[in-house]
Amino acid sequence: MTTDPVTGTTRLHVGGAAPYDVLVGHGLTGTLLAGLPAMLGEDAQRVAVIHPRTLVARATALREALLREGYDARTIEVPDGEAAKQAEVAAFCWSVLGEAGFTRSDAVITLGGGATTDLGGFVAATWLRGVRVVHVPTTLLAMVDAAVGGKTGINTAAGKNLVGSFHEPAGVLCDLESLTTLPHNELVSGLAEVVKCGFIADPRILELVEADPGAATDPTSPELRELVVRGIQVKIDVVVDDLRETGGSGGHPGREALNYGHTLGHAIERAEDYRFRHGAAVAIGMRYVAEVARLAGRLDDETADRHERVLDLVGLPTGYRADRWDELHAAMKVDKKSRGNTLRFVVLDGLARPTVLAGPDEELLRTAYERIGTPAQSR
Ligand SMILES: NC(=O)c1ccc[n+]([C@@H]2O[C@H](COP(=O)([O-])OP(=O)(O)OC[C@H]3O[C@@H](n4cnc5c(N)ncnc54)[C@H](O)[C@@H]3O)[C@@H](O)[C@H]2O)c1
Ligand SMILES: O=C(O)C(=O)C[C@@H](O)[C@H](O)[C@H](O)COP(=O)(O)O
Ligand SMILES: [Zn+2]
C-alpha cells in the first residue's frame, strides 16, 4: 500500500492472476480520466456507466467527461438498491449493450453502492462471457467490500445472491467525497462490514470504533478514512489467497471468513423481502454467530460480548424478531456455505481467529437465537 504525498491518494494492490489497484482518495474523477485507457483497456471504444437514479447527475457528468475523452459513452439507469439485483434488470442491461454493439474490447463502469456493483459486475461478467469492469463505489459498504474481490451476483426467489460469478474488476476508485452525501444510516450499514473485518482479521478496527464512535461515523474524519483503508486491506488479504472460495490453508477458512455474520444476515434480508439494509442484517448475524460460538464452547465471553457492545456504539442492530426462527432457519439452508443438509457457519475461536463450524446441534442454534430475539413491541 502506498500513499501519494501530493494528492493524498492511497493505492492498494490486489495481486493474483488478474491484478488491479484500489484507489482511495478525494475527488478521483480526474484520476479515473487520467488512468482510463489502462483501466478500461487500450482498445475500449464503447463504455456504459451503470448507475441508480439517485446518482443520475454524477453518472451524466461522468458520461460527458468520457465523451470528451473520445469514448462512445452511455449511461444505463437501473432500479435503486436491491431492486437492481434481478434477472430482469440484468437482461435490460444486456439489451442496451447489444443495441450499442458492445464488443469484447468495450467496458462497463459501475457507479453506485454494492447493489449496483453486484449487478453491474454480473452484467460485465456475462456479456460476451466477460468484458472489463471498473467499479466506482459510492457507499461505504461498496468501498470496503462489494467493489473489491470480484464477487458479482443477483438474487432469486429462493434467496440472496444465488446467481452470480467471480469477475474481478480492472480497477476500483473509492472517492471519499461520495460519502458526504450518503444518508447516515447507509454509512452505519457499511460500518457493519468494517467491524466484521475487525473481528475476523484486524482488531485495530474495533479499537478505532470503540475509541471514537462519532469519528467512525463521520464521513470527513481521518478515522473513517483509516477504517476504509483497513477494511479494504483485510478484504484484499483474504481474496488473494482464495479468490474462488475453494478453501483456505492452515485452518483458516479462506474467503468464507468474509461471510462472517452472513448466514443469518442473508436469511433476514430474504425474510424482509430485501427491504432491510445488508449491513444491518449482517450486524444481527454477527451477534447471533457470536452466541453460537459461545454456546459451542469456542468463543470466550469477553470477545462474544464485545460484538453487541461495538455494534451498539455505532447504532447497528443486534437483535431480531423472536417469532421468526423457523422461517430464518429454513432460509439459512440455501446459504452457499451449506453442503447437502449440513449448515456451516463461520465462527470465531477467538479474536481474529475465524473457523468453520459445520452441522451444529439444532437446539444450540435455537438457543443462540433466543438470546438475540426481540419481542414484537421493541421493533
Ligand atoms: N460482492 C460483494 O463482495 C459484496 C460485499 C458486500 C455486500 N454486497 C452487496 O452489496 C449490497 C449492499 O450495498 P450497499 O449497502 O452499498 O447498498 P445499495 O447499493 O443499495 O446503496 C444504498 C443506497 O444508497 C444510495 N447511494 C449510493 N451512493 C450514494 C451516495 N454517494 N450518496 C447518496 N446516496 C447514495 C443508493 O442509491 C441506495 O439507495 C447488497 O446487495 C449486498 O449483498 C456485495
Ligand atoms: O466477498 C466475500 O466473499 C463475502 O462474503 C463478502 C460479503 O460481505 C458479501 O456480502 C458477499 O456478497 C456475500 O457473498 P455470498 O457468497 O454469501 O453471497
Ligand atoms: Zn456482506
Annotation-wise, does 115 bind a ligand? yes
Same domain, 124 and 192: no
Same domain, 300 and 206: yes
Per-residue cell: 176: 471519499
Which candidate, 127, 132, 87, places its Cα nearest to that of 110? Answer: 132
Domain boundary among 148, 166, 181: 181
Residue with cell 487520467: 34
pLDDT, residue 356, reads 96
Atom of ligand 1 nearest to the CA of 153: 1
Same domain, 269 and 318: yes
Cα of 232 from ligand 1 centre, angstroms: 16
Is 278 near ligand 1, meaning CB less than 6 Å away?
yes
Give me the number of domains the chain comprises: 2
Which of 278, 282, 316 is the pocket-test mutation for ligand 1 (most atoms within 8 Å of CB)? 278
Same domain, 114 and 38: yes
Same domain, 54 and 130: yes
CATH number at residue 202: 1.20.1090.10
- Nearest ligand for residue 122 CA: 1
Cα of 153 from ligand 1 centre, angstroms: 13
Annotation-wise, does 31 bind a ligand? no
Same domain, 157 and 191: no
Map residue 79 onto helix, strand or coil: coil
Q: What is the pLDDT of residues 294-320, one digit of tens each?
A: 999 999 999 999 999 999 999 999 999
Which residues of the chain fall short of a pLDDT of 50? 379
CA–CA separation, 225 vs 187, rounded Å? 13
Is 165 near ligand 1, meaning CB less than 6 Å away?
no
Annotation-wise, does 114 bind a ligand? yes
CA–CA separation, 126 vs 108, rounded Å? 12
pLDDT, residue 377, reads 56
3-state secondary structure 111-161: EECHHHHHHHHHHHHHHHHCCEEEEEECCHHHHHHHCCCCEEEEEECCEEE
Is 110 near ligand 1, meaning CB less than 6 Å away?
no
pLDDT, residue 379, reads 47
Residue with cell 450499442: 100
CA–CA separation, 197 vs 31, rounded Å? 28
Same domain, 219 and 117: no
CA–CA separation, 66 vs 149, rounded Å? 26
Nearest CA to ligand 1 atom 19: 113
Same domain, 252 and 308: yes
Domain of 15 in residue numbering reads as 2-181
Cα of 152 from ligand 2 centre, angstroms: 9
pTM for this entry: 0.97
Domain boundary among 181, 208, 240: 181
Nearest CA to ligand 1 atom 6: 146
Atom of ligand 1 nearest to the CA of 148: 3
Cα of 199 from ligand 3 centre, angstroms: 14
Annotation-wise, does 336 bind a ligand? no
CATH number at residue 113: 3.40.50.1970
pLDDT, residue 63, reads 96
Catalytic residues: 129, 151, 193, 235, 245, 255, 259, 262, 266, 278
The separation between CA 346 and the C-alpha centre of its own chain, rounded to angstroms, equals: 17
Cα of 258 from ligand 2 centre, angstroms: 6
Same domain, 251 and 161: no
Same domain, 140 and 191: no
Same domain, 198 and 340: yes
Domain boundary among 149, 181, 213: 181
Same domain, 47 and 78: yes
Is 259 near ligand 2, meaning CB less than 6 Å away?
yes
Q: What is the pLDDT of residues 326-368, one digit of tens each?
A: 999 999 998 989 999 999 999 999 999 999 999 999 999 999 9
Is 269 near ligand 2, meaning CB less than 6 Å away?
no
